Amino acid sequence: MRAYPLTYKKLTPVSTTASKRKRSGFISRAALPYVLSLPALLVCIGILIPFFTAVFYSLQRYRLSQPWAREMNWGENYLNFLTDPGFWATLEVSLLYAVLTVGLELLLGLAIALLLQRRSRVNNFVSIMLLMPLMTAPALAALMFKLMTNQGFGILSYLLALVGVDDFRWGSSPDTALFTVVLVDIWVYTPFIMILLLAGLRSLPTQPFEAAALDGVPRIQQFFRITLPMLTPYILTAALFRLLESIQQFDIIYAMTQGGPGDTLTVFQVEAYLNFFQSTNVGRSAALLMILWAITFFISNIFIKNWLRLRERARGEA
Amino acid sequence: MQHVSLIERLLRGVALILVVVFFMFPIVWIVLMSFQTNETILRVPPSFIFEPTISNYKALITGKLETSAASLEINFLRNLGNSVLLSVGSVALALLLGVPAAYAFARHKFKGSEDIAFTLLSFRFAPPLLVLLPLSLYFQKIGLADTYIGLIWVYQLICLPLILWIVRGYFEDISPDIENAYRIAGHSWFSTFRKIALPLAGPGIAAAGLLAFIFAWNNFIFALVLASADKQPVTVGALAFVTASGIQYGQIAAAIVLSIAPTLALALYAQRYLVEGLSLGAVKG
C-alpha cells in the first residue's frame, strides 16, 4: 500500500496534461511505432531492390558472357519455357521431390509422434535425440550421407551388399539419385514434422478419448474418427510449411550431386544457380526463379492463413 | 488408461529402437569415422572396434593436411571462425533491429502495421536465389562483395523475420497493463521498454535468438553465392573439402563433426526453448 501515494503524486501532472503529453525524448507518440520498425524495414528494402531487379532481368536477353547482346525481350524467356524440355524436367523433378519428401515425412512424422505421445522418460529422451538431425545443416547432412554411401567404404553400400544388392550406386546413378536426396531430406526434416504433431497431439483435449474408451470404440477407429480430424490443422500447417521449403530445396541436392548426375536433379534453385554461374544465362535464371516465386507465393498465402488460425487457437487455450 | 498388452509394448519398443537407430546412426557413424585413419576406414567389413586416433583433428587444427601426394594447406579453423562471426554478428544485428520492431507491431496497431509485418515474413518464404543472384552483381558494384558486412546484411533475410515473428508473439502474450501502470507512474517510454517489456519477453527473445543462430550457422546458399574462400563458413568450406582431391576421409568426417557440434550442443542445452520456436509458435510449451 505504500506505493500508492507515491505513484499518485506523479500521476497527477501527467494526467492533467494528457492532451499534450510529455514526449519521450524528441519522438512523438504517433511516430514512435514507425521509428521503431524503420531500421528493420530499411534493411529489408535494401534486400527488396534485388527482387525487382530479378523481375527486370527475367524480361531480358542477358548473358554475363555476352554483355553487348543484352536487351529487353519481354516475355520471351517465359514463352521459351513452353517448348523447353529442360524447363519441364525442372518443374517435374521439383514437384516430385516436394511431394515425395513432404508425403513421406508426414507419414513417418505422424507415426513417430503417436509413438512418443505418452510423456515418459524414455519418450522425452528419444524426442530430444530426434532434434539432432534437425539441427544439422542440410548441406552437411548431405555430405554425411555422401560419405556413408561411398562405393568404396560407405557403410550403407556395405549393408546393401550384405543383403545382396551389389550395384546400388546412390547419388551417382540417375536411377537412384532422387531416392538418395529424398532420404537425406527425410532424415533432416522428419523431426520437424514430428515435433509439431507431437505438440499438437499433446494439446488435444482428453474428454473425447475418455468417452470413446468408455463406449468401447476400437483404438483404430478412435484414431481415424477423433485423433486425425482434431489433428488436421496441425498436419496442414506442417505440410504446407515443409512444402514451401521443399520445393525450394537447394542445399541437400547441391551438396550431394550438384544437380547431377547429368541433369536428373535440376530442381528450380539448382537449375537457376547453374544457369547463372555456369552458362551465365541471367535472363533464363531469373525467369525460372520468378516462376518458383509465384509457386511459393501461392503456397505461402495458404500457409500463413492456416498458421495464424492455429496460433489464435493456441492462444485461446493457453 | 487402456490396457496395453505385452505384444504391443514389445512392438512399440522395437519401433522406438528403429527410430533412434535411423536418426542417430549417421551422426554416430561420422563421429566414429573422424577418429579413424584412412586405413581403418577403407577396411572391409567396416569396423566398430579400432584404435582411435586424433590425427584427423590435429591436422584440421594445424591446417596442414597430409594427403597421399603432398601436404595440403586448408585453413578449416578459418571457416569455423567465419561461421562464428557471421552467425553471432547476424543474430546481434537482427535482435537490435528486430526486437524494437516486434514491440512496435505488438503494441501499436498503426497504419499498415499488418502489411509491413507480412512483407517481412514473406522474405522467409521467397526463394533465396531470387534475391542473391542480382545482389551478387550489385555487391560487386558497391564494394560489398565478399565482405563480412555484406554477408551479415544478407543473413538478415533469415534472422530478422524469425526474430520479428517469435518476439512479436511473446510481446502480444504479455498484458500491456503492467507497462501502462509503469508509464502512468511517470517513466519514459524508453525506460518502460527497457525495464518492463524486455525482461518479460526475455525467454522469447532468447528462444528466437537461439533459433536464428542455428539457422544462420546452418545456412549454405548465401555464402556459396556471395563469399570467396576466406570468408566462407563451415557449411560451404566442408563442401570444398569433399571435392578437393586426395583429402583423407577421416579428415572430412572430422571437419563435419566440428561443424555440426556447436548447433547440436546448443540444441541439447536449450531444447525446451527450441521446441516452441520450431513448432512455429503454434503451441505454447
The answer on pLDDT for A130 being more than 80 is yes
**Interface touch B113/A7, C-beta < 8 Å:** no
**Interface touch B133/A237, C-beta < 8 Å:** no
The CATH class given to the B77-244 domain equals: mainly alpha
Is residue A300 domain-resident?
A: yes
Tell me which residue of A98, A55, A97 sits closest to A77, measured CA to CA. Answer: A55
The answer on pLDDT for B69 being more than 70 is no
Is residue A6 domain-resident?
A: no
**Interface touch B120/A128, C-beta < 8 Å:** no
The answer on pLDDT for B49 being more than 90 is no
Tell me which residue of A38, A188, A228 sits closest to A102, measured CA to CA. Answer: A188
Tell me what the pLDDT averaged over chain A comes to.
Answer: 84
**A289 interaction partners in chain B (CB closer than 8 Å):** 127, 129-130, 133
Taking the CA of residue A152 and the nearest CA in chain B, the distance in Å comes to: 7
Per-residue pLDDT, averaged over B84-113, amounts to 88
- We report the CATH number of the domain holding residue A247 as 1.10.3720.10
Taking the CA of residue A177 and the nearest CA in chain B, the distance in Å comes to: 18
Taking the Cβ of residue B112 and every Cβ of chain A, the question of whether any pair is shorter than 8 Å is answered with no
- Mutate which: B35, B37, B80, B130, vs A, most A CBs within 10 A: B130
**Interface touch A148/B44, C-beta < 8 Å:** no
| Segments forming the whole domain that contains residue A252 | 89-317
pLDDT tens, position by position, A29-86: 677 777 887 888 787 777 778 888 888 888 888 888 887 778 888 888 898 888 888 8
Sign of CA dihedral A99, A104, A105, A106: positive
**Interface touch A311/B121, C-beta < 8 Å:** no
3-state SS string over A84-130? CHHHHHHHHHHHHHHHHHHHHHHHHHHHHHHHCCCCCHHHHHHHHHC
Closest CB from B22, B119, B260 relative to A137: B260
Q: What is the pLDDT of residue B189?
A: 79
The interface predicted TM-score of the complex, written ipTM, equals: 0.89
Confidence of residue A317 (pLDDT cuts 50, 70, 90): low
Q: What is the pLDDT of residue A178?
A: 92
- Ordered by start, the domain boundaries in chain B are 6-73, 77-244
Closest CB from B97, B118, B132 relative to A40: B97
Peptide bond into A13 cis (omega under 30): no
Q: How many domains does chain A have?
A: 1
Q: Which helix (H) or strand (E) holds A235?
A: helix A228-246
The identity of residue A247, as a single letter, is I
Residue B215 vs residue B47, higher pLDDT: B215
**Interface touch A41/B22, C-beta < 8 Å:** no
Among residues 146-165 of chain B, which lie with CB inside 8 Å of chain A? Answer: 153-154, 156-157, 160, 164
Per-residue pLDDT, averaged over B261-265, amounts to 92
**Interface touch A148/B280, C-beta < 8 Å:** no
- Mutate which: A36, A150, A190, A249, vs B, most B CBs within 10 A: A36
pLDDT tens, position by position, A250-281: 999 999 988 878 888 899 999 999 989 888 88
Dihedral Cα A243, A249, A251, A252, nearest 10 deg: 80
Taking the CA of residue A83 and the nearest CA in chain B, the distance in Å comes to: 23
Is residue A32 domain-resident?
A: no
Tell me which residue of A47, A53, A90 sits closest to A292, measured CA to CA. Answer: A90
pLDDT tens, position by position, A197-226: 998 888 888 888 888 888 888 888 888 888
Tell me which residue of B261, B243, B241 sits closest to B251, measured CA to CA. Answer: B241
Residue of B nearest to A29 (CA): B189
Strand partners, B66: B71
pLDDT tens, position by position, B34-44: 998 887 888 77
**Interface touch B278/A195, C-beta < 8 Å:** yes
